[in-house]
Structure 1
Amino acid sequence: MSLTGTPFLYTLVALCLVAVVLPLVLWSRMRGPRLVRAAGRVLMLLFAQTTAVALVFTLVNNANQLYDNWGDLLGTSDHVHEAADLGASGTGGMALEKLPKVRQVFKPGKGPGMREEGGVLVTQLRGRVSGVQAEVNVWLPPQYRDPAYRDHRFPVVEVLPGYPGSSKAWFGTMDAPQQLAPLMRSGQIEPFIIVSPRTTLLPGVDTGCANIPGKVNADSWLSIDVPKMVMDNFRAQAAPDGWAVAGYSAGAHCAAKLAVAHPDRYRAAVSMSGYNDPVAVPNSLAAKTPALRAANNPYLLLKEAGVPPRVALYFSGQPRDGYEAAMAIDRAAKPPTTVDVVFIPRSAGGHTMALWKPQVVPAFRWLTEVMGTRHQVGTGPGTTPPVPSTAGSRPAELASGTASRATAARRP
């Protein structure tokens, strides 16, 4: 029975009802010695508490999509079949352009939000470079199946959850397709392909999206294997100009790190409530040694870069939850790197999905601005619908109510 499935949830609801009825019916009818009666009543109480806790956990898990299956919850899910030393480039010396095309079979996705707005396609990808084998979810924009766009290639946003987190979270709890599809149809937001790969690759630990020989090649999985598969199977634009990466919490850290480390693979990144130092997550593999911490800290990577990367970075955060890390990167950035920082007041909520969900539309508006695809305006095949002008608007404006970086700087 699936951890996130409706049958499991209904079973827990039924068990909770039974746990309430049992004491009402049997409490005074218990027979036998006092010790036996006491033990029976204690068992009924424990049963009631256990089912109640299980139901609350399931509701919270379903709402936030923290654990996708029993393997993730119990720490038995291992998606790494090989973790070779791939070197600084993460390619292991392979000529990526010479690798054979990756042809995948896709099935309709199941779960919350996976069938909305055209539905999500899911495939099991065995990464040739990374040695990772896991699911990748792909959502196609409304225009993708329009005959007028049969020759058009679409920009891509790779979206990452926090830790723990499900690869389905952006389609379920975050409601990205439901929020974005109407705006894509009206031309207000670029029709992006949205790709969400699994990021929980080893049991009980956060990989930090790092390459760690002998352990995991999470960086190469996300920045090489997944993009290649998408470009080989869909009408996706080529990297780096057609690719961006976005995430919240631990996924936000990954998004910033991947874009700064690989400007040849990504043009832009969105980081919601992220951090720079991997040590922010106690069980992060990227925080195990000083060398790994430095190699996976986007602030240090940007500060020490010999040539500033040509990437656009968008950060949103609250005090002591992403904002200070974002400002540090802003101070370290030099052209052609660009940084936009959004200050979110504490009144908007804490480190939860309720804070990040309203930021989906503003973040994709920003991506529409910086991805450089607006020049493809027209009505014929291979073109993008005209996008209404947003002159005078603030790309930092969020549905939850925020202040821009300039406004935040004036705060006492």
Structure 2
Amino acid sequence: MGLTSQSLLFAMIAVAVVCVGLTVWMWPRFAGRGPRAVLGRLGVIAATQLSIVAALGLAVNSNFEFYASWHELLGLYDGAPAAVGKWGNEGKAGPAGDPSKGLVQPSGPEGLDKVHGIPTGPPDKNGKVETVKIVGKRTRAVNPAYVYLPPQYFQKQYARQRFPVVVALAGYPGGIFLLGQHLRLPETASQLIRSGKMQPTVIVMMRPTIAPPRDTQCVDVPGGPQAETFFAQDVPDALRSHYRVGSDPGAWGVMGYSSGGSCALQLAMIHSRTYTSAAALSPDYKVSTDPTTGNLFGDGKDRGRRREEHDLMWRLKNLPAPQVNVLIGTSRAGEPNYPAAKEFLDAVKPPMKADSIILDHGSHNFATWRRELPAALQWMSRSLTFPEDVVGSS
């Protein structure tokens, strides 16, 4: 049974209920003071608690899809975070794909069948959400994605038209399911496009790690996962090869929440010729290492330079400002990163432009990000240019 399957969840709930019942029924038998009675009490308590914790864990994971498969949960795609000393030249780069079979390949449901509010019915009236795998031409990394295609994408009058595109990144360790179900990105975008508050846009929802369970932080790890190259080069190439999306960087934006927002800022500021707009909800402003990331910058003499280049405040103070537009979402109360957000916004200088969504109160959670999302999507729509090139143009 799959890790997120309903049958596994119901089976584990049934096991927990049986364990509770057996504990109540057998408890009088272990009322004595001898070693067997003590061991019996400890045994039934342990079995009951383990079954309840397992059921709760499966329920939470089924709802949020932190791990989509047993492989991800068990860390079979990459070295476990505890082995950070062995990462680097000996570290694996995550699951590898075959670009010769296409840079965008069909995928299973990836949890889309459990997402509420996605467009249904005729695509030319309501739009459509596809599940695909994106394969890196350079990195050979494989990442699942939901791709929202607006109704205009399927309408005859737009048959040769290319569309602006937004790459949307989840936080870590969440996956694309969270963007659909809990951030409600396809549902919100569909409503805004239908009401004319947002231009027709292709939205590609992805997770920021390319080597789960490792948090790759959109960084090219020396001898390890090349996450920065994947998102800055492979993803745009793959999408242009398969979908009618614009070629000019002015039609490309990136957005995300939490660590996905941090990646969005990193990608736009470092690769301004790929993404010209970035919307970041509750981001950090520099890449830090921890047990989930391992050694992201290597051990060579350029380690310090690599770390500095992924510190956005350092970039603003020491490098020419990139010609990009950024949007920062934060809250005066409830968000611990408000002082850092203010410092970042104050440091922005031309030709870079910055706007903000600042709530009076909001925590680091989906309730806050859902409040910010409509304004962020409308800001992104105003920032991106609708492509002038059409299919078949040179």
User: Which bin holds the TM-score, normalised by the shorter protein?
Assistant: 0.7 to 0.9
2:115 counterpart of 1:113:
yes
Measured in 1, the distance between the counterparts of 2:47 and 2:366 equals 31
Take 1:234 and 1:23, find their aligned partners in 2: how far apart are those partners? 58
Change in CA separation of 1:102 and 1:310 when aligned onto 2, cut-off 3 Å: farther
Deviation at 1:375, TM superposition (A): 9.7
CA RMSD of aligned residues (A): 3.1
Shift of 1:174: 1.3
Checking the alignment, whether the CA contact within 8 Å between 1:143 and 1:185 is kept in structure 2 is: no
Which residue, 251, 262, 267 being the options, matches 1:258? 267
Equivalent in the alignment of 1:190: 199
1:141 aligned residue: 150
Letter in 1 for 2:356: V
SS of corresponding position for 1:105: strand
Alignment CA distance shift 1:263-1:234 (3 Å): same
Which residues of 2 match residues 230-269 of structure 1 at below 5 A? 230-269=239-278
2:275 paired with 1:275: no
Tell me, in whole angstroms, the C-alpha distance in 2 between the residues paired with 1:252 and 1:21.
46
Alignment partner, residue 296 of structure 1: 310
Change (3 A) 1:353 1:60: farther
Number of the residue aligned with 2:95: none
State the alpha-carbon separation in 1 of the partners of residues 23 and 309 from structure 2.
58
Match of 1:173 among 176, 182, 191: 182
Which SS does the other structure have where 1:236 is aligned? coil
Cα contact 2:150–2:190 (8 A) shared by 1:
yes
Assess if the C-alpha contact under 8 Å between 2:104 and 2:135 holds in 1: no
**Distance change in 2, residues 1:357/1:178 (3 Å):** same
> Quick one: structure 1 residues 32 and 248, their matched pair in 2 at CA, closer, same or farther if it must change by over 3 Å?
same
Q: Which residue of 1 aligns with 2:383?
A: 370
Q: Is the 2:166–2:255 Cα contact (8 Å) retained in structure 1?
A: yes
Contact 1:114 1:120 in 2 (8 A): no
Are positions 1:330 and 2:345 aligned together? yes
Distance in 1 between the 2:162 and 2:131 partners?
A: 20
Mapped to 2, the partners of 1:214 and 1:329 lie a distance apart of 31
The 3 A distance-change label for structure 1 pair 257 and 183 is: same
Q: Does residue 212 of structure 1 match 2:221?
A: yes
Q: Following TM superposition, by how much is the alpha carbon of 1:225 offset from its aligned partner in structure 2, in angstroms? A: 0.7
3-state SS of paired residue (1:269) = strand
Deviation at 1:240, TM superposition (A): 0.9
Query: In structure 2, what is the equivalent of residue 344 of structure 1?
Result: 359
How far does residue 318 in structure 1 lie from its aligned partner after superposition? Answer: 3.0
Query: Which of 124, 147, 150 is equivalent to 2:159?
Result: 150
CA distance in 1, matches of 2:378, 2:40: 60
- Tell me, in whole angstroms, the C-alpha distance in 1 between the residues paired with 2:213 and 2:110: 24
SS in 2 for 1:291: helix
Compute the displacement of 1:17 (Å): 1.4
Q: Alpha-carbon deviations, 1:322-379, whole Å to 9, x = none?
A: 3233322322222221101222333x3x222222222221210111122133999xxx
One-letter code aligned to 2:159: R
C-alpha separation in 2, matches of 1:131 and 1:373: 30
For 2:241, give the aligned amino acid.
D
CA distance in 1, matches of 2:138, 2:212: 21
Indicate if the aligned counterparts of 1:61 and 1:67 stay in contact, CA closer than 8 A.
Answer: yes
**TM-score, normalised via structure 2 length:** 0.81
Contact 1:261 1:298 in 2 (8 A): no
Compared CA separation, residues 274 and 216, structure 1 to 2 (3 A): same
State whether structure 2 residue 372 is matched by structure 1 residue 359: yes
Q: CA offsets, 1:82-122, max 9 Å, x none? A: x99xxxxxxxxxxxxxx999553324524131882145323
In structure 2, the partner of 1:60 is 60
Equivalence map 1:4-19=2 (5 Å): 4-19=4-19
Query: Residue type of the partner of 2:49?
Result: Q
Letter in 1 for 2:136: G
Q: Answer yes or no: is the 8 Å Cα contact 1:274–1:325 preserved in 2.
A: no
Amino acid at match of 1:318: S
Q: Does the residue aligned with 2:177 lie in a helix, a strand or coil? A: coil
Structure 1 322/244 Cα, relative in aligned 2: closer, same or farther at 3 Å?
farther
1:3 is matched with which residue? 3
Question: Which residue of the partner structure matches residue 398 of structure 1?
Answer: none
1:225 to 213, 219, 234: 234
Task: Name the SS of the counterpart of 2:55 in structure 1.
Answer: helix
- Shift in Å at residue 267 of structure 1? 1.5
Asked if structure 2 preserves the Cα contact closer than 8 Å seen for 1:200 and 1:206, the reply is yes
Partners in 2 of 1:100 and 1:46 — Cα distance?
51
Paired letter, 1:372: T
**One-letter identity of the residue aligned with 2:306:** L
| Corresponding pairs, count | 358
The structure carrying a bigger helix percent of its residues is 2
- Partners of 1:158 and 1:64 lie apart in 2 by 20
Change in 2 beyond 3 A, CA 1:321/1:155: farther
**Rounded Cα–Cα distance in structure 2 between residues aligned with 1:151 and 1:359:** 33
Q: Counterpart of 1:116 in structure 2: which amino acid?
A: I
Equivalent residue letter for 1:195: V
Query: Aligned pair in 2 of structure 1 residues 10, 146: CA closer, same or farther (>3 Å)?
Result: farther
* Secondary structure at the counterpart of residue 56 of structure 1: helix
Q: TM-score, normalised by structure 1?
A: 0.77
Distance 1:70 1:290 in 2: 36
Q: What are the superposed Cα offsets for residues 39-85 of structure 1, whole Å, 9 maximum, x if unpaired?
A: 33322211211122222223333343322222332322239xxx99x
Q: Is the 8 A contact 2:330 2:358 kept in 1?
A: yes
